Amino acid sequence: MRWFRFLPTWLPSGFALSLALVFVIWPMVQAQDKSSTADGSSKGQGDDFASVMARMKQAKPAIMKKHLALLEQRYDLSDNPAKGVTMSRGKPIQQGVRVKLPEGWTWERLTALSPEEIRAKGLFPAGFLPLPHPNHPEGGMVFPKFHIDEIKRQEGRDLTRFDLDFDLPDHLLPEFPPPMYLTTRPDLGDVSQGKLVTIENYYDLFKDILNPKQLEGLRLLLTPMAQQQFNATDDRRSEKPHRGVTCFDCHVNGHTNAATHLVGDIRPQEFRHRIDTPSLRGVHVQRLFGSQRALRSIEDFTEFEQRAAYFDGDPVAATRKGVTILERGSQVHFMGEFQSLLDFPPAPKLDLMGKLDPKKATESELRGQALFFGKAQCATCHPAPYYTDNLMHNLRAERFYKPHLINGHMAAADGPIKTFPLRGIKDSPPYLHDGRLLTLEDTVEFFNLILELKLTPEEKKDLVAFLRCL
Ligand code: HEC
Ligand code: HEC
């Protein structure tokens, strides 16, 4: 054989290299491949998909039980709808303060204490603390059951995770499917016609009211794209290999279904925030995107969602699992353009300045407005007409508690967070970036404590009445 003639010249270095490749480097690559899982944690060498799934399915009931016990300990989760007020398409709004007080305390006695005293005595209500993901060490996207069922019915795509279920009860979530309003066609009202808009029905619903570019943007927002937990590799959390997740699987009809996730940016894992899907209604008046990322345009955020947030900020995982590289000048632009058409829901009691029309408002609502712009100082950060200052603020809730671990999540300090707009706020429970507050009453108690406002029970009621008008 002719090649033997060249053997002596390359053998010493080449052979050594081959040996190294076969016996040292390749096993290392293999080991690394096996140890990087959906959350980036190690899963033990030699595990195949079937045994990982079997183990995680077995662990699921205990994980869910522990998390639901945490929710029970923090909140009153009962179904207690308010009378005479609903979300935009009619789902009842839940009423009352749901955050539980420490044993034997009242809100009035608690708010008489200073932040230092509350911190020293461990009296900060547990429901005001950062809310962990249903399984914080594992993380990833989790969808409410009603959404999973409807997508399965329409598209045959199954968003069930074998290791985890969504945690909050349906009556505390936004209405489903939510109405959809367009800035360009306010005359039409809800353009979704009461349906969940998907790849199956969007064309018929929108072909006569959008231009071809906007239609294409909407199509892309409804197109599944591979993601950390839902992809075709065996590092996934769906039983079967998966086509992926659409933007509107969370931002349903351009609004939110309260699907949850861990923020991609923070490390280590226990410091990452749980994040509650924000509504995309009214993104056209906003200048910062993401609770902490503060990306400057809707195009930037659209590109970032698929390339980074879908994969926990890990470009290696993204490549391995099948990232969709969206073309900036057309696809990203079209998606951004469609999102910018999503309008806030109608607020019939507000005038052109975004303030209450005294002829339409009740006495309590008007008193609430006066408080919002006066004693309660809300308008400093939430100015009319959209009730956002388009900035971020550090509310420094950690003045009230000592850092500690909650079900795998380190409650330490949130840092500056985007002032989410309050227009249409009654439609998008739960509240705050992590969804730790369940009702508008909870948000008023939270800010009453955080801002040390000392509001009376009557004043809190009036503020809630005003927030429900926005
Ligand atoms: C897990 C469900 C989920 C999916 C799927 C999803 N998002 Fe999001 N989206 C979120 C969450 C949660 C945030 C808040 C992020 C943060 O706090 O940093 C967010 C934030 C945004 C924002 C900024 C909103 C604001 O008010 O600051 C935009 C814009 C956005 N997403 C667009 C998209 C697009 C486009 C896609 C598809 C490529 C997408 N999202 C897919 C959950 C999701
Ligand atoms: C110092 C600025 C500041 C003041 C003052 C302020 N807020 Fe906020 N507000 C914020 C920020 C920042 C967020 C987002 C916090 C988060 O998500 O963790 C927020 C969030 C909210 C939310 C939840 C929004 C959502 O989409 O989940 C409500 C409701 C709210 N504020 C109501 C009020 C009320 C009522 C007052 C007055 C009593 C008030 N705020 C005063 C900055 C402020």
Contact residues of ligand 1, CB 6 A cut-off:
141, 245, 247, 249-251, 259, 261, 263, 275, 277-278, 280, 283, 286, 289-293, 298, 301-302, 305-306, 335, 339, 418, 433
Whose atoms come closest to the Cα of 383: which ligand? 2
Q: Is the pLDDT of residue 19 over 80?
A: no
Per DSSP, the three-state class of 126 is helix
Residue 1 has a pLDDT of 42
Same domain, 274 and 397: no
Residue 192 CA to residue 282 CA, distance in Å, equals 17
Specify whether 169 is located in the same domain as 270: yes
Q: Which helix (H) or strand (E) holds 387?
A: none
Distance 419 CA to ligand 2 centre (A): 6
pLDDT for position 18: 52
Residue 84 resides in a domain? yes
Minimal CA–CA distance to 466: which of 444, 449, 448? 444
CA distance between the termini of the chain: 85
Q: Provide residues with CB under 6 Å of ligand 2.
A: 291, 376-378, 380-382, 393, 395, 414, 417, 419-420, 422, 425, 428, 431-433, 443-444, 447, 451, 463
Structural domain contains residue 11: no
Q: Which atom of ligand 1 is nearest to the CA of 286?
A: 26
- Write out pLDDT tens, residues 155-182: 999 999 999 999 999 999 999 999 999 9
Distance of CA 457 to the CA centre of its chain: 31
Mutate to test the pocket of ligand 2, among 369, 381, 387, 391 (most ligand atoms within 8 A of CB): 381
Enumerate long-range contacts of 449-453, CB under 8 Å, 24 or more apart: 449/110, 449/111, 449/128, 449/400, 450/395, 450/397, 450/400, 451/376, 451/377, 452/111, 452/115, 453/375, 453/376, 453/377
Residue span of the structural domain in which 301 resides? 141-339
In terms of domains, do 120 and 148 share one?
no
Shared domain for 311 and 370, answered yes or no, is no
Residue 423 domain-assigned (yes or no): yes
Closest ligand 2 atom number to CA of residue 443: 29
For residue 24, pLDDT over 90 is answered with: no
* pLDDT at residue number 21: 46
Tally of CB atoms within 10 A around 210: 22
**pLDDT tens per residue, range 101-113:** 999 999 999 999 9
Return the bridge partners of 417, or none: 393
Q: Cα(201)–Cα(199) distance, rounded to whole angstroms?
A: 6
**Residue to probe by mutation, ligand 2, list 255, 373, 419, most atoms within 8 Å of CB:** 419
For residue 292, give the ligand 1 atom closest to its CA.
Answer: 18
CA 305 / ligand 1 centre spacing (Å): 6
When pLDDT is averaged across residues 400-410 and rounded to a whole number, the result is 98
Protein residue with its CA nearest to atom 26 in ligand 2: 420
Do 269 and 136 form a contact (C-beta atoms < 8 A)? yes
Pick the last residue of a domain from 278, 306, 339: 339
- Is the domain of 202 the same as that of 271? yes
List pLDDT tens digits, range 142-155.
999 999 999 999 99
Torsion, Cα 382 387 390 396, to 10 degrees, reads 30
User: What is the tens place of the pLDDT at every residue in 112-133?
Assistant: 999 999 999 999 999 999 999 9
| End-of-domain residue from the set 284, 316, 339 | 339
**Same-domain check for residues 285 and 411:** no
Same domain, 187 and 300: yes
Give the model's pLDDT for residue 393. Answer: 98
Whole-angstrom distance, CA of residue 140 vs CA of residue 122: 31
Task: Give the nearest ligand 2 atom to 428 CA.
Answer: 26
Q: Which of 275, 344, 378 to mutate to test the pocket of ligand 2 (most atoms within 8 A of CB)?
A: 378
Q: Do 128 and 154 fall into the same domain?
A: no
| Pair 217, 309 in one domain | yes
Residue 348 in any domain: the answer is no
Q: Confirm whether 263 is domain-assigned.
A: yes
| For residues 441-457, average pLDDT | 98
Pocket test for ligand 1, best of 251, 287, 325, 425 (most atoms within 8 A of CB): 251
Are residue 177 and residue 286 in the same domain, yes or no? yes
The yes-or-no verdict on residue 38 having pLDDT over 90 is no
Residue 3: inside a domain, yes or no? no
Question: What are the tens digits of pLDDT across the range 180-235?
Answer: 999 999 999 999 999 999 999 999 999 999 999 999 999 999 999 999 999 999 99
Q: Which amino acid is at 318?
A: A
Q: Report whether 269 contacts 137 (CB < 8 A).
A: yes
Q: How far is the CA of 103 from the centre of ligand 2 (A)?
A: 27
- pLDDT(7) > 60: no
CA of 15 to the centre of ligand 1 (A): 52
Length of the chain: 470
CA dihedral 294, 300, 302, 308 (to 10 degrees): -80
CA of 290 to the centre of ligand 1 (A): 7
Tell me what the pLDDT averaged over the chain comes to.
92
Q: Is residue 290 part of a domain?
A: yes
Pick the range with the lowest mean pLDDT from 17-26, 39-48, 361-370, 435-444. 17-26
| 43 pLDDT tier (thresholds 50, 70, 90) | low
Pocket probe for ligand 1: among 173, 222, 277, the residue whose CB has the most ligand atoms within 8 Å is 277
pLDDT, residue 39, reads 52
260 and 126 both lie in a single domain: no
Report, as an integer, the average pLDDT of 456-469. Answer: 98
> What does the pLDDT read at residue 47?
80
58 CA → ligand 2 middle, Å = 40
Of the ligands numbered here, which is closest to the C-alpha atom of 436?
A: 2
**Residue at 323 is within a domain:** yes
Rounded Cα gap, residues 250 and 82, in angstroms: 26
- Among residues 308, 339, 370, the one where a domain terminates is 339
The yes-or-no verdict on residue 12 having pLDDT over 60 is no
Mean pLDDT within 35-62: 76
Q: What is the CATH number for 462?
A: 1.10.760
Confidence of residue 5 (pLDDT cuts 50, 70, 90): very low
The secondary structure of the chain, three-state, reads CHHHHHHHHHHHHHHHHHHHHHHHHHHHHHHHHHHCCCCCCCCCCCCCHHHHHHHHHHHHHHHHHHHHHHHHHHECCCCCEEEEEECCCCCEEECCCCECCCCCCCHHHHHCCCHHHHHHHCCCCHHHCCCCCCCCCCCCCECCHHHHHHHHHHHCCCCCCCCCCCCCCHHHCCCCCCCCCECCCHHHCCCCCCCCCCCCCHHHHHCCCCCHHHHHHHHHHCCCECCCCCCCCCCCCCCCCCCCECHHHCCHHHCCCCCEEECCCCCCHHHCCEEECCCCCCHHHCCCECCCCCECCHHHHHHHHHHCHHHCCCHHHHHHHCCCCCCHHHHHHHHHHHHCCECCCCCCCECCCCCECCCCCCHHHHHHHHHHHCCCCHHHHCCCCCCCCCCEECCCHHHHCCCEEECCEEECCCCCEECCCCCCHHHCCCECCCCCECCHHHHHHHHHHHCCCCCCHHHHHHHHHHHCCC
Domain count, the chain: 2
- For residues 169 and 281, membership in a common domain is answered with yes
